[in-house]
Amino acid sequence: MLPTNVLIVDDNVGFRRHVRSLLSSEAGIQVIGEAGDGEQAVFEAARLHPNLVLMDVRMPRMNGLEAARRLIGASSGTQVIILSQYDIDEYKQAAAESGARDYVVKKSMMQKLVPAIQAAVSDTPLRG
Protein backbone atom coordinates (compact mmCIF):
# COMPACT_ATOMS: atom_id res chain seq x y z
CA MET A 1 0.00 0.00 0.00
CA LEU A 2 1.34 3.44 -0.94
CA PRO A 3 1.92 5.98 1.83
CA THR A 4 -0.47 8.83 2.43
CA ASN A 5 1.42 11.96 1.41
CA VAL A 6 0.48 14.89 3.64
CA LEU A 7 0.90 18.65 3.28
CA ILE A 8 0.67 20.56 6.59
CA VAL A 9 -0.68 24.11 6.35
CA ASP A 10 -0.61 26.44 9.36
CA ASP A 11 0.82 29.91 9.92
CA ASN A 12 2.46 28.74 13.16
CA VAL A 13 5.81 27.09 12.38
CA GLY A 14 5.97 25.46 15.81
CA PHE A 15 2.58 23.87 15.33
CA ARG A 16 3.60 22.53 11.91
CA ARG A 17 6.66 20.95 13.52
CA HIS A 18 4.44 19.44 16.23
CA VAL A 19 2.11 17.87 13.64
CA ARG A 20 5.08 16.61 11.61
CA SER A 21 6.53 15.01 14.76
CA LEU A 22 3.19 13.44 15.67
CA LEU A 23 2.80 11.92 12.20
CA SER A 24 6.43 10.80 11.85
CA SER A 25 5.81 7.67 13.90
CA GLU A 26 2.69 6.66 11.96
CA ALA A 27 3.18 3.88 9.45
CA GLY A 28 1.82 4.75 6.04
CA ILE A 29 1.80 8.53 6.58
CA GLN A 30 4.53 10.71 5.10
CA VAL A 31 4.70 14.49 5.45
CA ILE A 32 5.91 15.78 2.08
CA GLY A 33 5.66 19.52 2.66
CA GLU A 34 4.48 22.51 4.64
CA ALA A 35 2.92 25.88 3.92
CA GLY A 36 2.31 28.95 6.07
CA ASP A 37 -0.83 30.35 4.45
CA GLY A 38 -3.61 29.47 2.05
CA GLU A 39 -1.96 30.90 -1.06
CA GLN A 40 1.21 28.94 -0.42
CA ALA A 41 -0.93 25.84 0.28
CA VAL A 42 -2.56 26.03 -3.15
CA PHE A 43 0.85 26.45 -4.79
CA GLU A 44 2.51 23.64 -2.81
CA ALA A 45 -0.41 21.26 -3.39
CA ALA A 46 -0.16 21.82 -7.15
CA ARG A 47 3.59 21.19 -6.99
CA LEU A 48 3.65 18.23 -4.57
CA HIS A 49 0.31 16.48 -5.29
CA PRO A 50 -0.42 15.34 -1.71
CA ASN A 51 -3.17 12.83 -0.98
CA LEU A 52 -4.18 14.90 2.01
CA VAL A 53 -3.85 18.49 3.22
CA LEU A 54 -4.10 19.35 6.91
CA MET A 55 -5.28 22.96 6.87
CA ASP A 56 -5.69 25.59 9.57
CA VAL A 57 -8.82 27.78 9.33
CA ARG A 58 -7.43 31.22 10.09
CA MET A 59 -4.28 32.24 8.24
CA PRO A 60 -2.97 35.34 6.48
CA ARG A 61 -3.34 36.03 2.73
CA MET A 62 -5.97 33.29 2.19
CA ASN A 63 -7.86 31.47 4.92
CA GLY A 64 -8.00 27.70 5.08
CA LEU A 65 -11.62 27.43 3.98
CA GLU A 66 -11.00 29.31 0.74
CA ALA A 67 -7.81 27.34 0.13
CA ALA A 68 -9.75 24.10 0.74
CA ARG A 69 -12.39 25.15 -1.81
CA ARG A 70 -9.69 25.83 -4.38
CA LEU A 71 -7.84 22.58 -3.76
CA ILE A 72 -10.97 20.46 -3.85
CA GLY A 73 -12.31 22.37 -6.85
CA ALA A 74 -9.14 21.58 -8.78
CA SER A 75 -10.37 17.95 -8.97
CA SER A 76 -6.96 16.63 -8.02
CA GLY A 77 -8.39 14.04 -5.66
CA THR A 78 -6.67 15.68 -2.72
CA GLN A 79 -8.57 15.36 0.55
CA VAL A 80 -8.60 18.20 3.09
CA ILE A 81 -8.93 18.00 6.85
CA ILE A 82 -9.38 21.28 8.66
CA LEU A 83 -7.37 21.65 11.87
CA SER A 84 -8.52 24.46 14.12
CA GLN A 85 -8.21 25.71 17.65
CA TYR A 86 -11.85 26.83 17.35
CA ASP A 87 -14.57 24.38 18.39
CA ILE A 88 -17.28 26.50 16.72
CA ASP A 89 -20.28 25.07 14.87
CA GLU A 90 -20.18 27.83 12.22
CA TYR A 91 -16.57 26.94 11.35
CA LYS A 92 -17.44 23.25 11.23
CA GLN A 93 -20.35 23.97 8.89
CA ALA A 94 -18.21 26.22 6.70
CA ALA A 95 -15.55 23.49 6.54
CA ALA A 96 -18.14 20.96 5.41
CA GLU A 97 -19.45 23.41 2.79
CA SER A 98 -15.90 23.97 1.52
CA GLY A 99 -15.65 20.25 0.79
CA ALA A 100 -13.30 19.43 3.64
CA ARG A 101 -13.41 15.78 4.64
CA ASP A 102 -13.27 16.43 8.38
CA TYR A 103 -12.76 19.08 11.04
CA VAL A 104 -10.41 18.31 13.95
CA VAL A 105 -10.05 20.61 16.92
CA LYS A 106 -6.37 21.02 17.76
CA LYS A 107 -6.80 20.24 21.46
CA SER A 108 -8.16 16.78 20.56
CA MET A 109 -5.78 16.12 17.70
CA MET A 110 -3.66 13.57 19.62
CA GLN A 111 -6.66 11.23 19.71
CA LYS A 112 -8.53 12.19 16.55
CA LEU A 113 -6.08 13.23 13.83
CA VAL A 114 -4.70 9.85 12.74
CA PRO A 115 -8.16 8.20 12.63
CA ALA A 116 -9.45 11.20 10.63
CA ILE A 117 -6.55 10.82 8.17
CA GLN A 118 -7.16 7.09 7.82
CA ALA A 119 -10.88 7.64 7.23
CA ALA A 120 -10.25 10.39 4.68
CA VAL A 121 -7.84 8.40 2.53
CA SER A 122 -9.81 5.16 2.75
CA ASP A 123 -13.00 7.03 1.83
CA THR A 124 -14.68 5.74 4.97
CA PRO A 125 -17.92 7.62 5.69
CA LEU A 126 -17.65 10.18 8.44
CA ARG A 127 -19.50 9.57 11.68
CA GLY A 128 -20.75 13.16 11.84
Alpha carbon separation from 44 to 9, 27, 32, 91, 111 (Å, rounded): 10, 23, 10, 24, 27
Residues 6 or more apart whose CB falls under 8 angstroms from that of 110 comprise 22
Structural domain containing residue 110: 4-122
56 forms bridges with which residues in the sheet? 83
Indicate the number of domains in the chain.
1
**pLDDT at position 72:** 87
Whether 57 is in a domain gets the answer yes
Q: List the beta strands (DSSP E) in 2-122.
A: 4-9, 29-35, 52-56, 79-84, 102-105
- CATH code at position 86: 3.40.50.2300
Whether 115 is in a domain gets the answer yes
29 forms bridges with which residues in the sheet? 4
**pLDDT at position 127:** 43
Whether 99 is in a domain gets the answer yes
Three-class SS string for 52-83? EEEEECCCCCCCHHHHHHHHHHCCCCCEEEEE
Read off the pTM: 0.92
Whether 104 is in a domain gets the answer yes
Whether 128 is in a domain gets the answer no
For residues 29 and 2, what is the distance between their CA atoms, to the nearest angstrom? 9
Whether 15 is in a domain gets the answer yes
Whether 127 is in a domain gets the answer no
Each residue's pLDDT tens digit in the chain (128 positions)?
A: 678 999 999 999 999 999 999 999 999 999 999 999 999 999 999 999 999 999 999 999 999 999 999 998 886 789 999 999 999 999 999 999 999 999 999 999 999 999 999 988 887 544 44
Whether 25 is in a domain gets the answer yes
